[in-house]
Amino acid sequence: MALRGDFQGGSHGGANPGVSLGGPGDGGNIAIEKYLRWNWAFFIGACLVFASAVGTGIHWLGHFTFAPATFFFEMFLFGFGAMMIVLDTPIPHMQNHKHVQQVRYQIYKFALFMTRFMGRGAWYLFLATLVFGALWDTGINGFLGAVCTLYLTVLGVVAMAKGFIMTNKLNRVRDCITTAGYAAERYISRGQTGLSTDQFKLMVESATNEPDLFTPDELNYVVNALSFTPYNDGQVTLDEMRYWLSPGPALMV
User: How confident is the model over 106-115, as pLDDT tens digits?
Assistant: 888 888 888 8
Q: Are 42 and 81 in contact, with CB atoms under 8 Å apart?
A: no
Which of these ranges, 5-19, 38-52, 224-238, has the smallest mean pLDDT?
A: 5-19
Q: Report pLDDT for 27.
A: 42
What digits encode the pLDDT tens for the residues 176-230?
999 999 999 999 887 788 899 999 999 999 999 998 899 888 888 898 889 887 7
- The model scores a pTM over 0.85: no
Distance between CA 34 and CA 101 in Å, rounded? 14
More confident residue, 22 or 179: 179
| Position 71 confidence tier, pLDDT thresholds 50, 70, 90 | confident
DSSP for residue 212: T
Residue-range domain boundaries for the chain = 5-10+166-245, 31-158
pLDDT digits (tens, 9 = 90+) for 142-153: 999 999 999 999
Q: How do 195-196 and 235-236 pair as beta strands?
A: antiparallel
Arithmetic mean of pLDDT, 233-239: 85
108 contacts 30 by C-beta, under 8 angstroms: yes
- Who wins on pLDDT, 190 or 41? 41
Confirm if 186 and 1 have CB atoms less than 8 A apart.
Answer: yes
CA distance 171 to 44: 31
Mean pLDDT of 60-81: 85
Q: How far is CA 22 from CA 26, 110, 244, in A?
A: 6, 19, 22
pLDDT recorded at residue 2 = 40
> Is the CATH number of domain 5-10+166-245 1.10.238?
yes
Beta-sheet strands, E only, within 83-229: 195-196
